């Protein structure tokens, strides 16, 4: 070794003492650069050969200090990002539930009776009695419904309004007759019919509509009973009425709540709500699997941009087609009835809705993983789930105006289409699938653009590094030549 050092020193001295030719200086520089690269390779190899378990966390060596610094930076940086999500993304979900309802749902009151009872009930509801009511009532003329209460029911089922109250025809005349001549079959619950569709949104029906109907109509029923009892107090038929049909005096006006489309399949909660979250998660698995497959095969680097884009879109679309098929079959295994709206073709509609829905939510992840990388895609998925979930619990009509974006959100439209298939609600399949397909088209456009952008930067980076290396080589050579 000493001989080599001395030899090198003597060589350097002899070279320095002679006029340096450009070609000779260049050769010497290249030789020195080659030796420097060799030393670096040895250092790297030594680090690679370091045996597992040979270091401790508080190792004081330069390598240990650098490793500890890197770990703490990445770990606490990532933890800070999660905390940041708590204060930036999670409030979207909490805010969607915080002041429900910020506005009341709309309801109709239709007086098909035209008598004393109809006028009294319509006036009471029209004045929105009850501070706890979550429905704003509007009195609609009976002439708007020539088909009678059945046409009103069809309007509620067709989702023209959230709820409606009908004062049935002949209510006043039946009560008057029962007070004059006792009628043992008189039923005050036939006077008022309240209408709603639970399957449209079970949370709204159970938390807002039904409690409002019960609270308001109970107050009206008690008020009407007191008033009718006072009017009948001086009637000569009071004793006979009380003896034969006391319900005529005790409960002359009452109501029946008719749930036109009940949410009568509990297992449907899995497909119309929680299952949408699972679709995002399954889509995330496919995204990560596809990324790993491209890295393992080398396609991520070796394929042309066009071929890579085609591979990503085609493989993902096929994977989601098969996954949505087995996901739909799994729902059938738990006896989910999908034939109520489209008969025997209901399963195909159910499958295709799930397929387009999965494409809409998962292709967004497939597009952005190229830009955000594996490290960042999880943060976007969290944001994607929360923003979709927040608009899928209660009707957008009762939420703050900022959540109106839900009309275009994938979860909202996927849920509406699935409810049509599963429960037979108003047919939203065409409109909802159209919106979902628009999200698919957006992903089909953005994925190639993002891939092209990232590939261009990857191509430019080695060229830039090579230019920097050449510049450094020229600088070193010129310096050496000067010496």
pLDDT tens digit sequence for 162-220: 999 999 999 999 999 999 888 899 999 999 999 999 999 999 999 999 999 999 999 99
Length of the chain measured in residues:
483
The pLDDT confidence band at residue 26, using thresholds 50, 70 and 90, is very low
Q: Is the pTM of this model over 0.95?
A: no
User: CB of 356 within 8 A of CB of 329?
Assistant: no
Q: Does position 477 have pLDDT exceeding 80, yes or no? A: no
Q: What pLDDT does residue 459 have?
A: 82
Q: d(Cα 126, Cα 138) in Å, to the nearest integer? A: 6
Q: What pLDDT does residue 241 have?
A: 87
Q: What pLDDT does residue 60 have?
A: 86
Q: What pLDDT does residue 469 have?
A: 55
pLDDT over 90 for what percent of the chain? 73
pLDDT tens digit sequence for 51-60: 777 788 888 8
Q: d(Cα 354, Cα 359) in Å, to the nearest integer? A: 9
Q: Does position 37 have pLDDT exceeding 70, yes or no? A: no
pLDDT tens digit sequence for 100-137: 999 999 999 999 999 999 999 999 998 875 567 899 99
The pLDDT confidence band at residue 458, using thresholds 50, 70 and 90, is confident
Residue-wise DSSP of 324-355: HHHHHHHHHHTT----TTTGGGHHHHHHHHHH
Q: What pLDDT does residue 11 have?
A: 42
E strands present in 237-326: 255-259
Q: d(Cα 81, Cα 90) in Å, to the nearest integer? A: 13
The pLDDT confidence band at residue 236, using thresholds 50, 70 and 90, is confident
pLDDT tens digit sequence for 298-342: 999 999 999 999 999 999 999 999 999 999 999 999 999 999 999
Q: What pLDDT does residue 403 have?
A: 96
Q: d(Cα 210, Cα 215) in Å, to the nearest integer? A: 8
- 10 Å CB burial of residue 480 (0-12, 13-18, 19+) is middle
Q: What pLDDT does residue 467 have?
A: 56
The pLDDT confidence band at residue 422, using thresholds 50, 70 and 90, is very high
Q: What pLDDT does residue 465 have?
A: 55
């Amino acid at each position: 070794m000493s001989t080599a050092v001395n030899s090198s020193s003597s060589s350097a001295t002899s070279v320095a003492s002679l006029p340096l030719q450009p070609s000779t200086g260049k050769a010497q520089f290249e030789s020195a650069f080659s030796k420097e690269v060799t030393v670096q390779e040895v250092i790297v190899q030594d680090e690679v050969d370091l045996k597992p378990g040979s270091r401790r966390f508080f190792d004081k060596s330069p390598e240990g200090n650098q490793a500890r610094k890197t770990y703490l930076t990445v770990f606490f940086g990532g933890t800070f990002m999660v905390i940041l999500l708590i204060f930036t993304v999670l409030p979207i979900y909490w805010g969607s539930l915080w002041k429900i309802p910020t506005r009341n749902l709309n309801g109709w009151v239709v007086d098909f009776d035209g008598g004393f009872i109809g006028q009294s009930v319509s006036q009471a509801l029209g004045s929105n009695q009850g501070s706890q009511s979550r429905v704003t009532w509007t009195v609609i003329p009976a002439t708007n419904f020539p088909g009678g209460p059945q046409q009103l029911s069809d309007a509620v089922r067709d989702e023209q309004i959230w709820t409606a109250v009908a004062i049935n025809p002949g209510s006043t005349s039946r009560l008057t007759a029962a007070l004059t001549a006792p009628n043992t079959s008189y039923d005050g619950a036939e006077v008022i019919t309240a209408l709603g569709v639970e399957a449209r949104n079970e949370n709204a029906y159970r938390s807002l509509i039904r409690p409002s109907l019960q609270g308001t109509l109970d107050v009206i029923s008690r008020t009407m009973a007191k008033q009718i009892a006072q009017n009948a107090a001086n009637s000569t038929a009071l004793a006979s009425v009380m003896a034969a049909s006391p319900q005529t005096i005790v409960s002359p006006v009452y109501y029946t709540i008719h749930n036109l489309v009940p949410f009568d399949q509990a297992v449907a909660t899995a497909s119309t709500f929680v299952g949408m979250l699972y679709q995002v998660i399954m889509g995330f698995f496919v995204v990560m699997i596809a990324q790993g497959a491209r890295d393992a095969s080398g396609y991520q680097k070796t394929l042309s941009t066009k071929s890579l884009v085609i591979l990503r879109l085609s493989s993902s679309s096929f994977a989601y087609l098969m996954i949505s098929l087995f996901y739909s079959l799994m729902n059938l295994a738990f006896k989910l009835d999908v034939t109520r709206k489209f008969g025997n073709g209901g399963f195909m509609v159910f499958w295709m809705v799930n397929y387009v829905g999965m494409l809409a939510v998962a292709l967004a992840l497939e597009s952005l993983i190229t830009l955000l990388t594996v490290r960042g895609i999880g943060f976007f998925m969290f944001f994607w789930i929360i923003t979709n979930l927040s608009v899928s619990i209660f009707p957008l009509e009762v939420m703050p105006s900022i959540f109106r974006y839900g009309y275009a959100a994938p979860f909202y439209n996927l849920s509406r289409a699935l409810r049509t298939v599963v429960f037979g609600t108003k047919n939203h399949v065409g409109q909802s699938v159209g919106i979902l397909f628009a999200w698919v088209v957006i992903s089909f456009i953005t994925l190639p653009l993002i891939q092209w952008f990232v590939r261009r930067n990857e191509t430019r980076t080695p060229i830039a590094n090579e230019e920097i290396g050449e510049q450094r080589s020229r600088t070193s050579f010129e310096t050496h030549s000067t010496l």
